[in-house]
Structure 1
Amino acid sequence: MNAEISAVVDKIQGMINGFIVLLPNIVLALIVFAIFFFVARTIKKVVKRLTLNRRHARNLGMVLGRLAQGTTILVGLFVALSIVIPTFKAGDLIQLLGISGVAIGFAFRDILQNFLAGILILLTEPFQIDDQIVFKNFEGTVENIETRATTIKTYDGRRIVIPNSELFTNSITVNTAFDNRRLQYDVGIGYGDDIDRAKQLMLEAMYSVNEVLKDPAPDVLVMDLAESSVNIRVRWWINPPRRADDLKSRDKVISAIKKKLVENGIDLPYPTRQILFHDQTQQTDGDRSGTFDTA
């Protein structure tokens, strides 16, 4: 029993002695890795700063900055391991990674897909930071494009994190892709109203709104002969095309059209339904007590 305890104590003592011997190397390795880490962050910031004022190179700068940062940190890790373990060679780790690469690929397939999709999004630039996009049921402003996911801020103040592989393989609507954006709204007038007169009044109302562009000019089109109204579609352009400008112009255009039409006696009908109650009596309809078979 004493021999076993002595063997355990000797083993623990040997581990402590070995750690004490390696302690200077571990401290030096941590210092070297910290230096590489801060150098990597500095390189990333420098690359981003160089491309900050160039809109078309901004995403490319993000890609290059992150790749440079990752490569520098990886090199620092190799150097630190070489200091702690002098027999360690980078080739050994690369060979090990090569052997287990297939297993790692299957295990981290989704992560790798999102990473590659993020790189392609940053390079091809279907949208950029501060663009306003619509993806499935989500709509908002792009806050950040990372190599794994893209974050957008919705108009009601929520943050949505979308995997890059989803964005890369599905359709996206970019509302701010161009300088101008066209909006539309359907207005119903009565069947007894003069269509040409109503269209002219709608155009005048839209021209009176400062947010509506004169070029391209707004227009009005008869779209439908509905059950209770003649539906006319008004279309106008705004610049800039952001959500706040959309709502502001929409509010002013609809208000101006409604006021203009009412002032000029144009009817704005709404769906109505007439219900007739039938007074069923024996004197008027006869005896219907035998209508249903009770057998």
Structure 2
Amino acid sequence: MVTFESLLSQYSAWFESVGRFLLTLFAVSLLGHLLVRPAVSRVVTARNPNNPTLVNALEQYTTVLFVIIAIPLATAAAGFGGLVAGSTMIVAAATLALGVAGQDVIGNLVSGLFLVADPDFNVGDYIEWNSESGTVERIDLRVTRVRTPADEVLTVPNTQLSTNAIRNPFSRGKYRLTERVLVGYDTDLDTATDVLVDAARADDRIASDPEPVVHVTSLGENAIELSARVWVENPRSANVANVDSEFATRVKRRLQDADVTLAPASAQRVDGRLDVSMEDGI
């Protein structure tokens, strides 16, 4: 008759090995989380005080690294090394299957490392890629979360951002806006230029260095195209869309006040013949 004591005696060594495995796995992971991770965070923060993206990412990677280190150590402490060594073909097959199934995940992990190591890619940056754009909110191990101008959150795989061209229009501290205006050929261009420049200087968010400039960019069939180029100060904190809209509104109003003809109607030439017939008695 099999009793509980006999079963316990029979499997006691196995239970002990499993206990050593779990204890070692937990101890090594806890060591990395409580001791090494804070130390890494302090060192990276001291050297990169303005790069929280790098700090947060390295904290996550440190935790994952210690979990990876803990697995073989726990296997050796539990005495499972011989079992693993005796199942080389099984381990190799499992490794191959895991690699094929997780290639996208591994690619995103590697891409995440490249993103956090890039000094020009940080949380808070406004980026544009493919047909999407938005502000980076968080860079995780697998994905990057981007908030769009429509206040939607995009979860973007890291490989998309690391393998595509990314435009960071605000990276140099200023952002250029271009406002195009069509005026009639009878317009005094000096007057129109002064109006455009004054409209730009009326907004403190528009930089004075470099100064606003106005160029004639096209001589159309019925109108002259003027392009006013201005630069927005601190585009990370300023609402660029609002600055652009308010600037365009001021330009329209001030040009109208200066009696400048905006977007004159196209002259159309009509060719043909009109026949008129008269009836008797009329």
Partner of 1:47: 40
Q: Is 2:126 the counterpart of 1:171?
A: no
- The Cα of 1:173 is off from its aligned counterpart by 0.5
- Segments of structure 1 that go 5 or more residues without pairing to the other structure are 1-5, 285-295
Identity within the alignment, %? 20
Contact in 2 for aligned 1:40/1:70 (Cα 8 Å): no
C-alpha distance in structure 2 between counterparts of 1:90 and 1:197, whole Å:
88
Larger radius of gyration between Structure 1 and Structure 2: 1
| Paired residues, number | 275
Cα 1:273–1:108 change in 2 (3 A) is farther
Q: Is 2:235 the counterpart of 1:241?
A: yes
Higher relative contact order (CA 8 A, sep 6+): 2
Contact in 1 for aligned 2:181/2:263 (Cα 8 Å): no
Q: How does 1:45-124 map to 2 (within 5 A)?
A: 45-52=38-45, 54-55=48-49, 58-62=52-56, 64-82=58-76, 85-88=78-81, 92=85, 99-100=92-93, 101-124=95-118
- The Cα of 1:178 is off from its aligned counterpart by 1.1
Q: How does 1:9-24 map to 2 (within 5 A)?
A: 22-23=14-15
Contact in 1 for aligned 2:179/2:227 (Cα 8 Å): yes
Contact in 1 for aligned 2:184/2:264 (Cα 8 Å): no
Q: What is the root-mean-square deviation in Å for CA atoms of aligned residues?
A: 3.8
- The Cα of 1:129 is off from its aligned counterpart by 1.3
* TM-score normalised according to structure 1 size: 0.75
Cα 1:15–1:231 change in 2 (3 A) is farther
Partner of 1:143: 137
Cα 1:236–1:87 change in 2 (3 A) is closer
- Segments of structure 2 that go 5 or more residues without pairing to the other structure are none
Equivalent in 207, 210, 221 of residue 215 of structure 2: 221
* TM-score normalised according to structure 2 size: 0.78
- The Cα of 1:198 is off from its aligned counterpart by 0.7
Contact in 2 for aligned 1:238/1:245 (Cα 8 Å): no
SS at 1:51's partner residue? helix
Cα 1:239–1:274 change in 2 (3 A) is same
